[in-house]
Structure 1
Amino acid sequence: MTTDLETRWQTLDHEWQTISRALEHALNTHHDLSLSEYRVLAALEAKHDHHHRMQVLADLAGLSQSATTRLVARLEAQDCGLLARYMCPTDRRGVYTEITPAGLQKLSRARQTLQQTLATLWTPTTPDPHAEAPSS
């Protein structure tokens, strides 16, 4: 028998998958970016100095370290270098990734698409299942 908690989890999971698929499609179609690539660019842009250690970036993007390394390598090579990697000057075992000006520009354009896609998914006519009912 399905419990209320399980039903709520299934509803949330379905909504998350629907949103993720729509964002993945829009970003890929218009900007040749995956949702994971967008997350990495956004995480780097959000930090005041625009760089993170690879380990931290993997955690922020919700990816394994090997998947993050492959993703960063793609974004380093793609579109004249959206990211750059460099060794930590004080700890040679540490590798940092930094968003480049080209990466910031691509993220800015992709963010507009992401916002438009989210706005389409969450129109005022779409009820928010998590919103509290208005009190009378």
Structure 2
Amino acid sequence: MTPDLETRWQTLDHEWQSASRALEHALNTHHDLSLSEYRVLAALEAKHDHHHRMQVLADLAGLSQSATTRLVARLEAQDCGLLARYMCPTDRRGVYTEITPAGLTKLARARQTVQETLHDLWDTENQDLKK
């Protein structure tokens, strides 16, 4: 029998929360990054020119514009230097955020941790299903 939609949604939500908690812990422990910071770095890296307007970045990261601004400011800070902001050359109201070489390096290291964490999480779940 097919579970009803609410049961399917609850199962998906539980899996999402479990994976998010595991990723948050692993990224924070090994790379001093939050999951939201990782999402921002990954969204910028994925674009061929490595930059996005702030409002687009907020949508991609699932954050409010003010939360994105604070996050970008942290990652742009002198001691971090993972991102840089600059004004749009054709629209002075627009602000772009760009990932720096240091950000790309940190993302590559963090991505390995993300892959390992997800592998461990889902491999463990698959083993539980086999029992």
Q: Counterpart of 1:74 in structure 2: which amino acid?
A: R
CA RMSD of aligned residues (A): 1.7
> Quick one: distance in 2 between partners of 1:125 and 1:18?
11
- Counterparts in 2 of 1:80-91, with a 5 A limit? 80-91=80-91
Q: Counterpart of 2:30 in structure 1: which amino acid?
A: H
Instruction: Give runs of ≥4 in structure 1 deviating > 3 Å.
Output: none
Q: Are 2:100 and 1:100 equivalent residues in the alignment?
A: yes
> Quick one: distance in 1 between partners of 2:59 and 2:125?
35
Map of 1:133 onto structure 2: none
5+ residue gaps, structure 1, are 130-136
> 1:82, CA displacement in angstroms?
0.2
Q: Counterpart of 1:61 in structure 2: which amino acid?
A: A
Map of 2:22 onto structure 1: 22
Map of 1:74 onto structure 2: 74
Q: Counterpart of 1:93 in structure 2: which amino acid?
A: R
Q: How many correspondences in the alignment?
A: 126
- Counterparts in 2 of 1:1-136, with a 5 A limit? 4-77=4-77, 79-123=79-123, 126=126
5+ residue gaps, structure 2, are none
Relative to structure 1, is the Cα distance of residues 75 and 125 closer, same or farther in structure 2, using a 3 angstrom cutoff? closer
Relative to structure 1, is the Cα distance of residues 80 and 13 closer, same or farther in structure 2, using a 3 angstrom cutoff? closer
Residue deviations 1:63-82 (CA, integer Å, cap 9, x gap): 10000000000000164400
- Report percent identity of matched pairs: 88
C-alpha contact (below 8 Å) 2:22/2:117 kept by paired residues:
yes
Relative to structure 1, is the Cα distance of residues 25 and 71 closer, same or farther in structure 2, using a 3 angstrom cutoff? same
> Quick one: distance in 1 between partners of 2:75 and 2:20?
20
C-alpha contact (below 8 Å) 2:74/2:80 kept by paired residues:
no
Task: Give the match's secondary structure for 1:123.
Answer: helix
